Amino acid sequence: MKITKQRLREIIRKELKEFTGTGGGTRALSRQKSAKSDVSTKTKTRSSKQSAKTSKKSTLDTKTADYDTKTAAVDTTKRYRKAGIKPGTFSYRPTSGKGWSTNPDYSSQVSARDSALTAKNTAQSEFDTASTNLETAISNLSAAEKAELQAYIDTNMGFGGGKGGKGKAGSEDDK
């Protein structure tokens, strides 16, 4: 089959129009730019989530230390008290009995410890959420990087990429 000069010109014009027009080339390049922008956004998001996780970890460590301190401050040997012989003095013991009442200092210590435990549990939950958010951001970034690579491949392979100009397509080098 012979291709006439006129037909060859039409084919070339069609290819150039496809490359420079609203079709193939421009669309592929815009997809590549979009993918690159998406990677940039996902990288910033991952960085932000990493900072949030680090902050939550610091808060968790502080709350854990506070809980440990308040737990150590609870003196179970002084759970109950009874007025001493001298006015203003008390006798303490860990079990109740006749004439013994709950020590208000012990009750305050237990209350402070319980509040610290609640704060620690809240901080743990926030840290776990931040960890999950970071893992999601990392996964999204990975997917965006793959999409960027695919957009780059699609854009460059469609315009003379392929074998990089070595030999003819389908030659024995390909086998």
* Residue 84 dihedral angles phi and psi, to the nearest 5°: -80, 180
Residue 6 confidence (pLDDT): 83
The structure's pTM equals 0.65
> What's at 155, amino acid-wise?
T
* Sign of the alpha-carbon dihedral angle for 148, 154, 160, 165: positive
How far is it, in rounded angstroms, from Cα 47 to Cα 16?
42
- Tell me the two tokens of residue 72: 């150590």
Q: What percent of the chain has pLDDT over 70?
A: 82
Residue 127 confidence (pLDDT): 96
What distance lies between CA 126 and its chain's CA centroid? 12
What is the layout of strands, in order, in the sheet containing 90-93? 90-93, 80-83, 101-102
Residue 79 confidence (pLDDT): 94
Q: What pLDDT digit, counting tens, does each position of 71-118 carry?
A: 999 999 999 999 988 998 999 999 999 989 999 999 999 999 999 999
Arithmetic mean of pLDDT over the chain: 84
Residue 166 confidence (pLDDT): 52
Q: Which residues pair with 118 in a beta bridge?
A: none
Q: How many CA atoms lie within 13 A of 11 on its CB side?
A: 6
Q: What pLDDT digit, counting tens, does each position of 2-37 carry?
A: 778 888 888 888 777 665 544 556 677 788 888 888
Question: pLDDT category, 161, cuts 50, 70, 90?
Answer: very low
Beta-carbon count within 10 A of 85 CB: 6
Residue 149 confidence (pLDDT): 86
* Residue 54 dihedral angles phi and psi, to the nearest 5°: -60, -40
